[in-house]
Amino acid sequence: MARQRYTRVLLKISGEGLCREGGFGFEMDEIKVIASQIAAVAQSGVQLAIVVGGGNLVRGERLAGSGCIQRATADYMGMLGTVMNAMALQDTLEHLGQPTRVASALPVTAVCEPFIRRKVMHHLEKGLVVVLAAGVGSPFFTTDTCAALRATELNCQVLLKATKVDGVYDSDPKKNPKARCFEQLTYRQVITDNLRVMDMTAISMAEENNVPIIVFNMKTPGNIGRVVAGEPIGTLVNGGAV
């Protein structure tokens, strides 16, 4: 399957996209770069659901490593972190004139609505950006897996995995200047070669439901618009022949 102009997409933004390289918390300059691209794409008529991560605030596995906080507790803390990120994105998008809703898989009704599939679909049809918070709402999962799940149930044509590098490489481009960036890969290659695209649960779910994934660099201004328009940037992962 080749690239196309997409009309409903699931965009996955990691928590680290909201702060500086190697940083922590929120960096408004970084959030604005992403939000302005999202607003422009939404205002061009593309329906956008966004799954936001929480790695800039809490990573459950790391926090639980201390041995004092149980893994499940740390994961719930991580999910609450994604709610804060979603709120930051929502206000920034609305500041830019783009109406936005936050829908959370964990009930946090004082600040956002609960995730209800049909309601989210309705928001998308009306042109609202929907930021999906709290992952799948259960510990021991990741927001990448959530992105594959939501892309499937919200009938998105593609899962756009926003990263800080240009795509999927055969080795770390920061360590190896000769690292090769793949144009296209199959789900099977990603799993067999253990390529670090998303976690394996997410890749398996995308494969099972035939959701194409495009890994691309969100730090290049305008890239979200380019990838949605079907320009051949980043790495396309699907079930087709390479």
Amino acid present at 82: T
Least distance to ligand UDP, CB of residue 88, Å: 13
Contact 12, 147 (CB under 8 A): yes
Residue with the CB atom nearest ligand UDP in the bound state: 53
Q: How far is the CB of 102 from ligand UDP (least distance, A)?
A: 15
User: Among 53, 167, 212, 234, which residue sits at the site for ligand UDP (rule: CB under 6 A)?
Assistant: 53
Q: Does 15 sit near ligand UDP (CB under 6 A)?
A: yes
Cβ 181 to ligand UDP, closest distance in Å? 21
Residue 78 interacting with ligand UDP (CB under 6 A): yes
**148: exposed, middle or buried (Cβ count in 10 Å: 0-12, 13-18, 19+):** buried
The β-bridge relationship of strands 113-114 and 184-186 is: unpaired
- C-beta of residue 110 within 8 angstroms of C-beta of residue 122: no
Question: Where does this chain touch ligand UDP (CB under 6 A) — which range of 41-49, 54-62, 109-117, 220-228?
Answer: 54-62
Contact residue for ligand UDP among 37, 90, 142, 184 (CB under 6 A): 142
Number of chain positions touching ligand UDP (CB under 6 A):
24
Contact present, 54 and 65 (Cβ < 8 Å): no
**Segment lying near ligand UDP (by CB under 6 A), choices 9-17, 23-31, 35-43, 182-190:** 9-17
Closer to ligand UDP by Cβ: residue 74 or 195: 74
Among 139, 167, 212, 234, binds ligand UDP (CB under 6 A): 139
Site string for ligand UDP, 119-138 (x = CB under 6 A): ----------------xx-x
Distance between CA atoms of residues 166 and 176, nearest Å: 14
Closest separation in Å from C-beta 154 to ligand UDP: 16
DSSP 190-235: HHHTT-SSS-HHHHHHHHHTT--EEEEETTSTTHHHHHHTT---SE
Alpha-helical runs (H) found in 4-116: 28-43, 60-64, 71-95
What is the amino acid identity at position 239? G
DSSP state at residue 161 = E
Q: Give min distance, CB of 27 to ligand UDP, in A.
A: 14
> Residues interacting with ligand UDP, by CB under 6 A?
14-16, 53-55, 58-61, 74-75, 78-79, 82, 135-136, 138-139, 141-144, 146
